[in-house]
Amino acid sequence: MEEILKLQQKIVPELIELLEKRYNILRTIYYNQPVGRRILANNLDLGERIVRTEINFLKSVNLIEVSTPGMTVTPEGEKIIDKLKNFIHEIKGLSDLEVLIKEKLNVKNVIIVPGDMEEDRTVMKELGRAAANYIKSIIKDDDILALTGGSTIKEVIDNMPRVNNVHNILVVPARGGMGKQVEIQANTLAANLANKVGGSYKMLHIPDNISDRALDTMLDEMDIKEIIESIKKTNVLIYGIGRADEMARRRGVTSQRIEELISMGTVGEAFGCYFNREGKVVYSTPTVGINSNDIRKINYPVAVAGGKNKAEAIVATEKGNERGVLITDESAAREIIRIIEGE
Protein backbone atom coordinates (compact mmCIF):
# COMPACT_ATOMS: atom_id res chain seq x y z
CA MET A 1 0.00 0.00 0.00
CA GLU A 2 2.77 2.41 1.00
CA GLU A 3 4.72 1.62 -2.19
CA ILE A 4 1.65 2.28 -4.35
CA LEU A 5 1.11 5.63 -2.65
CA LYS A 6 4.69 6.67 -3.34
CA LEU A 7 4.34 5.69 -6.98
CA GLN A 8 1.11 7.68 -7.30
CA GLN A 9 2.72 10.73 -5.77
CA LYS A 10 5.59 10.55 -8.25
CA ILE A 11 3.65 9.73 -11.41
CA VAL A 12 0.29 11.46 -10.88
CA PRO A 13 0.76 14.00 -8.06
CA GLU A 14 -2.19 16.01 -9.36
CA LEU A 15 -4.46 13.05 -8.61
CA ILE A 16 -3.41 13.08 -4.96
CA GLU A 17 -3.92 16.85 -4.77
CA LEU A 18 -7.42 16.55 -6.25
CA LEU A 19 -8.30 13.75 -3.85
CA GLU A 20 -7.12 15.78 -0.87
CA LYS A 21 -9.05 18.84 -2.05
CA ARG A 22 -12.29 16.91 -2.41
CA TYR A 23 -11.75 15.26 0.95
CA ASN A 24 -11.30 18.68 2.58
CA ILE A 25 -14.47 19.98 0.91
CA LEU A 26 -16.48 16.96 2.07
CA ARG A 27 -15.10 17.20 5.60
CA THR A 28 -15.84 20.94 5.82
CA ILE A 29 -19.42 20.45 4.64
CA TYR A 30 -19.86 17.62 7.18
CA TYR A 31 -18.74 19.76 10.13
CA ASN A 32 -20.69 22.86 9.08
CA GLN A 33 -23.83 21.39 7.50
CA PRO A 34 -26.11 22.75 6.29
CA VAL A 35 -23.71 25.22 4.72
CA GLY A 36 -23.92 27.59 1.74
CA ARG A 37 -21.45 27.72 -1.12
CA ARG A 38 -20.06 31.15 -0.25
CA ILE A 39 -19.38 30.25 3.38
CA LEU A 40 -17.79 26.99 2.24
CA ALA A 41 -15.51 28.87 -0.18
CA ASN A 42 -14.48 31.28 2.60
CA ASN A 43 -13.78 28.46 5.05
CA LEU A 44 -11.61 26.64 2.52
CA ASP A 45 -10.03 29.81 1.11
CA LEU A 46 -11.00 28.70 -2.40
CA GLY A 47 -12.59 30.59 -5.28
CA GLU A 48 -16.36 30.19 -5.66
CA ARG A 49 -15.93 28.92 -9.23
CA ILE A 50 -13.66 26.08 -8.04
CA VAL A 51 -16.04 25.26 -5.21
CA ARG A 52 -19.02 25.27 -7.60
CA THR A 53 -17.28 22.78 -9.91
CA GLU A 54 -16.39 20.44 -7.06
CA ILE A 55 -19.87 20.68 -5.55
CA ASN A 56 -21.43 19.68 -8.85
CA PHE A 57 -19.15 16.64 -9.00
CA LEU A 58 -19.79 15.57 -5.39
CA LYS A 59 -23.51 15.95 -5.95
CA SER A 60 -23.39 13.91 -9.15
CA VAL A 61 -21.84 10.95 -7.30
CA ASN A 62 -24.33 11.23 -4.42
CA LEU A 63 -21.83 12.30 -1.76
CA ILE A 64 -23.67 15.53 -0.91
CA GLU A 65 -27.19 16.92 -1.17
CA VAL A 66 -27.99 20.54 -2.03
CA SER A 67 -31.16 22.12 -0.63
CA THR A 68 -32.47 25.57 0.35
CA PRO A 69 -30.84 25.56 3.84
CA GLY A 70 -27.51 24.54 2.29
CA MET A 71 -25.35 21.53 1.49
CA THR A 72 -25.28 18.37 3.60
CA VAL A 73 -23.25 15.16 3.37
CA THR A 74 -25.15 11.99 2.45
CA PRO A 75 -24.69 8.71 4.41
CA GLU A 76 -22.53 7.49 1.52
CA GLY A 77 -20.47 10.67 1.79
CA GLU A 78 -19.92 10.07 5.51
CA LYS A 79 -18.58 6.59 4.75
CA ILE A 80 -16.19 8.06 2.17
CA ILE A 81 -14.90 10.60 4.74
CA ASP A 82 -14.16 7.81 7.23
CA LYS A 83 -12.48 5.61 4.62
CA LEU A 84 -10.38 8.46 3.21
CA LYS A 85 -9.15 9.57 6.63
CA ASN A 86 -6.52 6.83 6.89
CA PHE A 87 -5.55 7.22 3.23
CA ILE A 88 -4.92 10.97 3.61
CA HIS A 89 -3.00 10.20 6.79
CA GLU A 90 -0.66 7.90 4.86
CA ILE A 91 -0.08 10.04 1.77
CA LYS A 92 0.93 12.95 4.00
CA GLY A 93 3.44 10.73 5.81
CA LEU A 94 1.81 11.34 9.18
CA SER A 95 2.38 7.77 10.42
CA ASP A 96 6.14 8.24 10.08
CA LEU A 97 5.85 11.65 11.73
CA GLU A 98 3.98 10.12 14.69
CA VAL A 99 6.77 7.59 15.24
CA LEU A 100 9.46 10.27 14.98
CA ILE A 101 7.80 12.62 17.49
CA LYS A 102 7.11 9.73 19.86
CA GLU A 103 10.82 8.88 19.87
CA LYS A 104 12.06 12.47 20.05
CA LEU A 105 9.77 13.49 22.92
CA ASN A 106 9.93 10.10 24.65
CA VAL A 107 6.16 9.80 25.05
CA LYS A 108 3.91 6.73 24.94
CA ASN A 109 1.86 7.58 21.86
CA VAL A 110 1.29 10.33 19.27
CA ILE A 111 -1.79 10.81 17.09
CA ILE A 112 -1.72 13.42 14.30
CA VAL A 113 -4.71 14.69 12.31
CA PRO A 114 -4.13 16.28 8.87
CA GLY A 115 -4.28 20.06 8.46
CA ASP A 116 -3.77 23.26 10.43
CA MET A 117 -6.40 24.26 12.97
CA GLU A 118 -5.20 27.88 12.86
CA GLU A 119 -6.25 28.08 9.20
CA ASP A 120 -9.12 25.59 9.12
CA ARG A 121 -11.56 25.35 12.05
CA THR A 122 -12.73 21.91 10.94
CA VAL A 123 -9.29 20.58 11.91
CA MET A 124 -10.08 21.38 15.55
CA LYS A 125 -13.20 19.27 15.22
CA GLU A 126 -11.11 16.46 13.76
CA LEU A 127 -8.70 16.86 16.65
CA GLY A 128 -11.58 16.59 19.12
CA ARG A 129 -12.97 13.58 17.31
CA ALA A 130 -9.61 11.77 17.29
CA ALA A 131 -9.11 12.45 21.00
CA ALA A 132 -12.66 11.36 21.85
CA ASN A 133 -12.25 8.06 19.98
CA TYR A 134 -8.93 7.41 21.71
CA ILE A 135 -10.39 8.12 25.15
CA LYS A 136 -13.34 5.86 24.42
CA SER A 137 -10.90 3.06 23.59
CA ILE A 138 -8.99 3.24 26.89
CA ILE A 139 -11.57 3.89 29.61
CA LYS A 140 -12.71 0.95 31.70
CA ASP A 141 -14.97 0.18 34.67
CA ASP A 142 -14.30 2.19 37.87
CA ASP A 143 -12.00 4.70 36.15
CA ILE A 144 -11.69 8.28 37.39
CA LEU A 145 -11.40 10.76 34.52
CA ALA A 146 -10.08 14.28 35.14
CA LEU A 147 -10.07 17.11 32.62
CA THR A 148 -9.08 20.73 32.29
CA GLY A 149 -11.14 23.45 30.66
CA GLY A 150 -10.70 25.27 27.37
CA SER A 151 -12.13 25.33 23.86
CA THR A 152 -10.03 22.41 22.61
CA ILE A 153 -11.12 20.13 25.46
CA LYS A 154 -14.73 21.22 24.87
CA GLU A 155 -14.33 19.98 21.29
CA VAL A 156 -13.20 16.61 22.66
CA ILE A 157 -16.27 16.32 24.89
CA ASP A 158 -18.63 17.51 22.13
CA ASN A 159 -17.31 14.74 19.86
CA MET A 160 -17.36 12.05 22.53
CA PRO A 161 -19.75 9.27 21.47
CA ARG A 162 -22.13 7.66 23.96
CA VAL A 163 -20.38 4.91 25.89
CA ASN A 164 -22.55 2.08 27.25
CA ASN A 165 -20.07 -0.69 27.96
CA VAL A 166 -18.32 0.79 31.03
CA HIS A 167 -19.66 1.24 34.55
CA ASN A 168 -19.03 3.29 37.66
CA ILE A 169 -17.08 6.07 35.91
CA LEU A 170 -16.38 9.25 37.89
CA VAL A 171 -15.48 12.49 36.09
CA VAL A 172 -13.83 15.38 37.93
CA PRO A 173 -12.25 18.73 37.00
CA ALA A 174 -8.45 18.52 37.07
CA ARG A 175 -8.07 21.95 38.69
CA GLY A 176 -10.02 25.01 39.76
CA GLY A 177 -12.04 27.17 37.37
CA MET A 178 -10.64 29.88 35.12
CA GLY A 179 -12.22 32.72 33.15
CA LYS A 180 -15.85 33.76 32.70
CA GLN A 181 -16.94 31.39 29.91
CA VAL A 182 -18.92 28.79 31.83
CA GLU A 183 -19.35 26.51 28.81
CA ILE A 184 -15.60 25.81 28.54
CA GLN A 185 -14.81 25.54 32.25
CA ALA A 186 -13.69 22.20 33.67
CA ASN A 187 -16.73 21.81 35.94
CA THR A 188 -19.14 22.15 33.02
CA LEU A 189 -17.12 19.84 30.78
CA ALA A 190 -16.86 17.23 33.55
CA ALA A 191 -20.65 17.15 33.87
CA ASN A 192 -21.06 16.85 30.08
CA LEU A 193 -18.52 14.04 29.81
CA ALA A 194 -20.13 12.15 32.70
CA ASN A 195 -23.41 12.27 30.78
CA LYS A 196 -21.73 10.84 27.67
CA VAL A 197 -20.15 7.89 29.53
CA GLY A 198 -23.11 7.23 31.82
CA GLY A 199 -21.06 8.09 34.89
CA SER A 200 -21.21 10.50 37.81
CA TYR A 201 -19.28 13.72 38.38
CA LYS A 202 -18.04 16.01 41.12
CA MET A 203 -17.41 19.74 40.86
CA LEU A 204 -14.55 21.75 42.29
CA HIS A 205 -15.78 25.22 43.20
CA ILE A 206 -12.38 26.84 43.63
CA PRO A 207 -11.13 29.45 41.15
CA ASP A 208 -7.56 29.47 39.87
CA ASN A 209 -5.28 32.21 41.19
CA ILE A 210 -6.97 32.25 44.60
CA SER A 211 -5.03 33.74 47.52
CA ASP A 212 -3.15 31.36 49.81
CA ARG A 213 -5.22 32.43 52.83
CA ALA A 214 -8.55 31.83 51.06
CA LEU A 215 -7.27 28.52 49.69
CA ASP A 216 -6.27 27.25 53.13
CA THR A 217 -9.74 28.08 54.45
CA MET A 218 -11.49 26.25 51.62
CA LEU A 219 -9.28 23.19 52.02
CA ASP A 220 -10.78 22.67 55.47
CA GLU A 221 -14.19 21.99 53.91
CA MET A 222 -15.11 18.29 53.85
CA ASP A 223 -16.62 18.45 50.32
CA ILE A 224 -13.42 19.99 48.97
CA LYS A 225 -11.29 17.34 50.69
CA GLU A 226 -13.36 14.55 49.15
CA ILE A 227 -13.10 15.81 45.59
CA ILE A 228 -9.37 16.46 45.92
CA GLU A 229 -8.96 12.88 47.10
CA SER A 230 -10.81 11.71 43.97
CA ILE A 231 -8.71 13.94 41.69
CA LYS A 232 -5.51 12.46 43.12
CA LYS A 233 -6.75 8.96 42.11
CA THR A 234 -7.23 9.92 38.45
CA ASN A 235 -6.64 7.16 35.88
CA VAL A 236 -7.17 9.26 32.72
CA LEU A 237 -6.29 12.95 32.46
CA ILE A 238 -7.46 14.99 29.47
CA TYR A 239 -5.78 18.37 29.21
CA GLY A 240 -4.97 21.20 26.86
CA ILE A 241 -1.66 23.00 26.36
CA GLY A 242 -1.18 26.73 25.95
CA ARG A 243 1.54 29.26 25.40
CA ALA A 244 2.84 30.49 28.74
CA ASP A 245 2.27 34.20 28.07
CA GLU A 246 -1.28 33.74 26.75
CA MET A 247 -2.35 31.42 29.57
CA ALA A 248 -0.85 33.67 32.25
CA ARG A 249 -2.96 36.57 30.96
CA ARG A 250 -6.09 34.41 30.84
CA ARG A 251 -5.48 33.26 34.41
CA GLY A 252 -5.28 36.85 35.61
CA VAL A 253 -1.56 36.77 36.44
CA THR A 254 -0.16 40.26 37.01
CA SER A 255 1.91 41.96 34.31
CA GLN A 256 4.92 41.92 36.62
CA ARG A 257 4.59 38.17 37.17
CA ILE A 258 4.19 37.58 33.41
CA GLU A 259 7.43 39.47 32.75
CA GLU A 260 9.11 37.34 35.43
CA LEU A 261 7.81 34.15 33.82
CA ILE A 262 9.10 35.21 30.41
CA SER A 263 12.50 36.11 31.88
CA MET A 264 12.60 32.62 33.47
CA GLY A 265 12.24 31.11 30.01
CA THR A 266 8.70 29.75 30.33
CA VAL A 267 7.13 28.85 27.00
CA GLY A 268 4.32 26.39 27.80
CA GLU A 269 1.48 25.90 30.27
CA ALA A 270 -0.61 22.87 31.20
CA PHE A 271 -2.88 22.25 34.23
CA GLY A 272 -1.67 25.48 35.87
CA CYS A 273 2.04 24.63 35.60
CA TYR A 274 4.46 26.72 33.57
CA PHE A 275 7.28 24.92 31.75
CA ASN A 276 10.57 26.23 30.34
CA ARG A 277 12.21 25.01 27.12
CA GLU A 278 13.91 22.18 28.98
CA GLY A 279 10.57 20.84 30.17
CA LYS A 280 11.04 21.94 33.79
CA VAL A 281 8.22 23.44 35.86
CA VAL A 282 9.30 26.91 36.99
CA TYR A 283 5.98 28.18 38.38
CA SER A 284 2.53 26.86 39.36
CA THR A 285 -0.65 28.81 40.01
CA PRO A 286 -1.83 28.55 43.64
CA THR A 287 -4.78 26.17 43.40
CA VAL A 288 -5.62 22.53 44.07
CA GLY A 289 -5.84 19.58 41.74
CA ILE A 290 -3.49 17.86 39.30
CA ASN A 291 0.12 19.07 39.33
CA SER A 292 3.33 18.13 37.51
CA ASN A 293 4.17 15.43 40.09
CA ASP A 294 0.76 13.77 39.77
CA ILE A 295 0.94 13.48 35.99
CA ARG A 296 3.84 11.03 36.19
CA LYS A 297 1.62 8.62 38.19
CA ILE A 298 -1.48 8.79 35.97
CA ASN A 299 -1.95 5.82 33.61
CA TYR A 300 -3.15 7.90 30.67
CA PRO A 301 -2.25 11.62 30.60
CA VAL A 302 -3.76 12.70 27.26
CA ALA A 303 -2.68 16.09 25.89
CA VAL A 304 -4.81 17.60 23.12
CA ALA A 305 -3.40 20.69 21.39
CA GLY A 306 -2.79 21.90 17.85
CA GLY A 307 -1.62 24.85 15.81
CA LYS A 308 1.90 25.84 14.80
CA ASN A 309 2.03 28.58 17.43
CA LYS A 310 1.68 25.98 20.21
CA ALA A 311 4.49 23.72 19.00
CA GLU A 312 7.11 25.13 21.38
CA ALA A 313 4.68 24.85 24.30
CA ILE A 314 3.89 21.24 23.36
CA VAL A 315 7.58 20.32 23.29
CA ALA A 316 8.15 21.97 26.68
CA THR A 317 5.21 20.29 28.44
CA GLU A 318 5.48 16.82 26.86
CA LYS A 319 9.23 16.22 26.72
CA GLY A 320 10.07 13.09 28.72
CA ASN A 321 6.45 12.40 29.69
CA GLU A 322 6.88 8.63 29.27
CA ARG A 323 3.21 7.79 29.89
CA GLY A 324 1.98 10.73 27.87
CA VAL A 325 -0.29 10.59 24.83
CA LEU A 326 -0.15 13.58 22.47
CA ILE A 327 -2.99 14.28 20.04
CA THR A 328 -2.15 17.16 17.73
CA ASP A 329 -2.50 18.48 14.18
CA GLU A 330 -0.16 18.31 11.22
CA SER A 331 1.03 21.93 11.40
CA ALA A 332 2.04 21.61 15.06
CA ALA A 333 3.66 18.23 14.41
CA ARG A 334 5.88 19.52 11.61
CA GLU A 335 6.89 22.54 13.69
CA ILE A 336 7.65 20.25 16.66
CA ILE A 337 10.14 18.34 14.51
CA ARG A 338 11.70 21.58 13.28
CA ILE A 339 12.16 22.77 16.90
CA ILE A 340 13.56 19.47 18.15
CA GLU A 341 16.00 19.08 15.26
CA GLY A 342 17.13 22.69 15.74
CA GLU A 343 18.04 22.13 19.40
Could you give the CA distance from residue 2 to residue 8 in angstroms, rounded to a whole number? 10
236-239 vs 144-147, strand pairing mode: parallel
Question: Which domains are seen in the chain, by residue range?
Answer: 2-91 (1.10.10.10), 94-342 (3.40.50.1360)
Count of all residues that appear for the chain in the document: 343
- Sign of the alpha-carbon torsion through 178, 127, 125, 25: positive
- Position 343 scores a pLDDT of 62
- Position 4 scores a pLDDT of 67
- Position 275 scores a pLDDT of 93
- Position 20 scores a pLDDT of 87
**C-beta of residue 71 within 8 angstroms of C-beta of residue 37:** yes
Q: What is the dihedral of CA 133, 137, 142, 143, to 10 degrees?
A: -60
pLDDT tens, position by position, for the chain (343 residues)? 556 666 776 777 788 888 888 999 999 999 999 999 999 998 888 888 999 999 999 999 999 999 999 999 999 999 999 888 888 888 888 999 999 999 999 999 999 999 999 988 889 999 999 999 999 999 999 999 999 999 999 999 999 999 988 999 999 999 876 556 788 899 999 999 999 999 999 988 776 666 666 666 666 666 778 888 899 899 999 999 999 988 888 877 778 888 888 888 899 999 888 999 888 988 887 667 888 888 888 999 999 999 999 999 999 999 989 999 999 999 999 999 999 987 6
**C-beta of residue 200 within 8 angstroms of C-beta of residue 107:** no
